[in-house]
Chain A
Amino acid sequence: MAPLLEVSDLVVRFRTMGMVKALVRGVRDPYLDAVLNVSFRQEQGETFGLVGESGSGKTTLGRAIIGLVRASKGSIRFGGQELTRLSNRAYKRYRRDIAMMFQDPVASLSPRLTVRSLLMEPFRIHGMTDRDLTAEARRLLNMVGLNDSFFGRFPHEMSGGQARRVGVARALSLSPKLIIADEPTAGLDVSVQGEILNLMGRLQKELGLSYLIITHNLPVVRHVSDRLAIMYLGRFVEQGRTEEIFRHPLHPYTKALISAVPEPDPDKRRDIVKLEGEVPSLANRPTGCEFHTRCPFAQARCRSEAPAPRELEAGRIVRCHFPLARPTADAA
């Protein structure tokens, strides 16, 4: 079956200064590559995680897929249809199949609209006014566990958790096939994170949804995703099945990320910090393998030659000259 989403060699560049300024300052290449040569596929019904720290490009990638930013090169195929060269008007039709949930749940709701209007907006935008919109809004609210006493509320009158649910309801309004969720648990207390994630999981089973989850929260993504990709400076450095990546990460950055997450157990304190330094700026990309400046295993080759992505085992693609050794015998 054709994959739901297929991204190939995607590049998203941002201009940092106008032509004239660049000329005057002698800057030859006034661009920042937020996403660089990203390729992956997502199947229907799957939850794919995009994991990375700030500057990794994960949010930009999500926005490129839904068409909020223009792809500079490469292709995004959704249900077989190429999206990157579409005009804004032509893209509109696909915005019914792809929906997005934003990081700040209250800020992503138009502050002067009531919940009812917010839920009716998607229908209005697409001219689907030939139906009882209030009934649709009620249906959507019920799906996320809210009742219509919320109809008259404004975004600032709701808690973060409630606003997030409204965000989910809005994303569901046009029955999308793919929902891109940007940091779905940001700002939520640990004791209630599960609510939104369980809701998303339940909806996935009921409606056959696929999710693209953008996050830097490794413990969460380990539970909710089937496959994931780790991003660094706009590139995928490793992708594969979630369970296997956590069991034996192959890229040093992946391993560093996983071990940087503190374990909630005082007997498991770490004495060494695996990763020093900071993420280099996008304007000053390191040569060769871009991770070499911080990699504890970097060698001469890493400084000069950029590694190509290699499929080291079924479904696991890694960009590294010296991937970490797999344990010889898997733990039971």
Chain B
Amino acid sequence: MEQPVLAIRDLSIDFTTPRGQVHALRHVSLSVPRNKIVGIVGESGCGKSTLISAALGLLASNGTVRTGQALFEGRDVLKMTEPELRAIRGERISMVFQDPMTSLNPVLSVSQLMSDIQYRHRERSADEKRRRAIEMLRQVGIPDPEERIDHYPFQFSGGMRQRIAIAMALLTNPSLLIADEPTTALDVTLEAQIIHLLREIHGSFEASILFVSHNLGLIAELCDDVVVMYAGEVVEQGTVRDLFHRPAHPYTQALLECDPARIAKATRDLPTIPGEVPNLVQLPPGCVFQPRCAKAFAPCTKAPPPTVPVEGGPPTDLPVAERHAARCYLVGNHGAAA
């Protein structure tokens, strides 16, 4: 069994704020296998931004790691020194951000940006760097790359800029590409193009992709494995088919029910999940989703449930830690979730 590119193990992170300790992540475990696309689904406050910051070693100064590790290719990012981190950021792990309008330095031309990012490769000449950059731009679908590489970001549209951002991210042949809501700021037709591009790129490069989104459609479209986060915890994980066809956790089920794209018959009475995300300073004593869960019963208020494998799926030879699992008392010895 190959070592996963990214393995988050039992990670718990607190932030110290004037309001108290914010328990942003609690015992989060997930892994990104080699060459796979893993999606993180979560709504506001679920902790996905904290998770990504931690994976890049960019945790804010008021954040403390209480337990756990973030292993990138076997080494704990949280224990690395700044020079070690700099060696892997932009080189072994790259990132594509949400807003293409602000994520590219406006005062540098695209060729400068793309040569800069290759700075570690001193053996390459300036011409060589430029040649690689042009080739990369061509691969992501920028027309006339030889000319356009000397343009500035403001001369490109949003969709083009996001393609450039992806090109930059892949230029150094990273093992992990983190895409944080890369299409949220784009129109739906552009979104489809970018997702399609990511799938193609994934085929030709040997990079794993960690794809963060709140859009279930995109997750279904792109990802191999999916992790569902709620209020700082992983509540369910599994293959994309496990999650969409056999969702076990009530939150996942509710999320799928609420998605207007999944509701076949047009209706004026849309389903919602009543209530709000809990206050991360003062968490409910039991399961974090219990206050909003329609299926809660006695044990749910007592203590947070353990992560339990979900029965009833097709046979698999994955290790237990990577199978379809959910953090819910309804799963496991109570059989498949109702």
Q: Which A positions have Cβ atoms within 8 angstroms of B?
A: 53-54, 159, 189-195, 197-198, 201, 216, 218-220, 222-224, 242-243, 246, 256-257, 260-270, 273-276, 278-279
| B240 shortest CB reach to chain A, Å | 4
Tell me whether A216 and B188 are in contact (CB under 8 A).
Answer: yes
Residues of chain A with a CB closer than 8 A to B260's CB? 190, 193, 219-220, 222-223
Other CB < 8 Å A-B pairs besides A218-B188, A264-B261, 6 of them? A53-B189, A190-B214, A191-B43, A201-B268, A268-B220, A269-B221
Q: How far is the CA of A194 from the CA of B259 in the complex (A)?
A: 9
Which of A260, A262, A274, A278 gathers most chain B CB within 10 Å?
A262
Closest to B221 in A: A262
Query: Could you list 21 A-B pairs, sorted by A, with CB under 8 Å?
Result: A190-B259, A191-B254, A192-B272, A194-B270, A195-B272, A197-B270, A198-B268, A198-B272, A201-B268, A216-B187, A219-B260, A260-B189, A260-B191, A262-B221, A263-B261, A264-B219, A264-B220, A264-B256, A266-B221, A273-B192, A278-B190
Mark B191-235 against chain A: 1 for CB-CB distance below 8 A, else 0: 111011000000000000000001111111100000000000000
Nearest 9 interchain pairs by C-beta? A262-B217, A194-B270, A194-B272, A53-B187, A189-B43, A219-B260, A219-B261, A264-B216, A191-B273
Q: How far is the CB of A103 from chain B (nearest CB, A)?
A: 13
Enumerate chain A residues within 8 angstroms of B241, measured Cβ to Cβ: 266-267
Q: Which residues of B contact A242 (CB under 8 A)?
A: 266
The 8 A CB mask of B257-295 against A (1 = contact, 0 = none) is 011111100111111110010000000000000000000
B244: contacting residue among A197, A257, A264, CB under 8 A: A264
Whether B259 contacts A264 by the Cβ 8 Å rule is yes
Q: Complex formed: what's the CA distance from A182 to B254 in Å?
A: 27
Determine which of B44, B270, B272 lies in contact with A223 in the assembled complex, contact meaning CB atoms within 8 Å: B270
The answer to whether A201 and B189 have CB atoms under 8 Å apart is no
- A247–B190 Cα gap in the complex (Å)? 23
Q: Are A262 and B255 in contact (CB under 8 A)?
A: no
In the complex, the answer to whether B192 meets A262 with C-beta atoms within 8 Å is yes
Do A54 and B187 touch (CB < 8 A)?
Answer: yes
Q: Is the CB of A279 within 8 A of B244?
A: no
Are B215 and A262 in contact, with the CB atoms below 8 A?
yes
The answer to whether B195 touches A262 (Cβ under 8 A) is: yes
- The B interface, classified by DSSP as helix, strand, loop or mixed, is helix
Q: Once the chains are docked, how many angstroms separate the CA of A219 from the CA of B266? A: 9
In the complex formed, the residue of A with least CB distance to B187 is A53
| B160 CB–A CB distance under 8 Å | yes
Contact partner of B196 among A219, A243, A261, A273, CB < 8 A?
A273
Do A266 and B267 have beta carbons less than 8 Å apart?
A: no
Which listed residue (A191, A216, A264, A274) contacts B262, Cβ 8 A?
Answer: A264
Whether the pair A198, B270 counts as a contact (CB closer than 8 A) is yes
B159 within 8 A of A: yes
> Nearest A residue to B45 by beta-carbon distance?
A189
Any A CB within 8 A of the CB of B157: yes
- Give the chain B neighbours of A243 by CB distance below 8 A: 266
Looking at A189, A191, A201, A275, the one whose CB has the most chain B CB atoms below 10 A away is A191
Q: What CA separation (Å) do A270 and B217 show in the bound complex?
A: 11
Residue in chain A with minimal CB distance to B157: A278
B183 to chain A, nearest CB (A): 10
Q: How far is it, in angstroms, between the C-alpha of A293 and the C-alpha of B167 when the chains are bound?
A: 25
Q: Which residues of A contact B268 (CB under 8 A)?
A: 198, 201, 223-224
- Kindly provide the distance from the CB of B288 to the nearest chain A CB, expressed in whole angstroms: 15
B43: nearest chain-A partner, CB-CB: A189
Q: How far is the CB of A27 from chain B (nearest CB, A)?
A: 19
Q: Which residues of B contact A198 (CB under 8 A)?
A: 268-270, 272
B217 touches A263 (CB 8 A): yes
Instruction: Tell me how far the C-beta of A79 lies from the nearest C-beta in chain B, rounded to whole angstroms.
Output: 25
User: With the chains together, A269 CA to B244 CA distance in Å?
Assistant: 13
Taking the closest CB of chain A, its distance from the CB of B180, in whole angstroms, is 16
Whether A190 touches B258, Cβ cut-off 8 Å, given contacts A264-B220, A273-B196, is yes
- Which residue of A159, A257, A269, A279 is within 8 Å of B220 (Cβ)? A269
Which chain A residues lie closer than 8 Å to B266 at the CB level?
Answer: 222-223, 242-243, 246
- Given the complex of chains A and B, what is the CA–CA distance between A261 and B191 in angstroms? 9
B188: nearest chain-A partner, CB-CB: A260
Complex: A192 Cα to B276 Cα, angstroms? 9
Contact of B187 among A159, A197, A279 (CB under 8 A): A279
Q: How far is the CB of A255 from chain B (nearest CB, A)?
A: 11
**Contact (Cβ within 8 A) B193 A194:** no
Interface centre among B188, B189, B270 (most CB of A within 10 A): B189
Chain B nearest Cβ from A124, distance in angstroms: 32
A246 vs B215: C-alpha distance when bound (angstroms): 21
CA distance A285 to B100 in the complex (A): 24
Are B271's CB and A194's CB within 8 A? yes
Residue pair B259, A192 in contact (C-beta under 8 Å): no
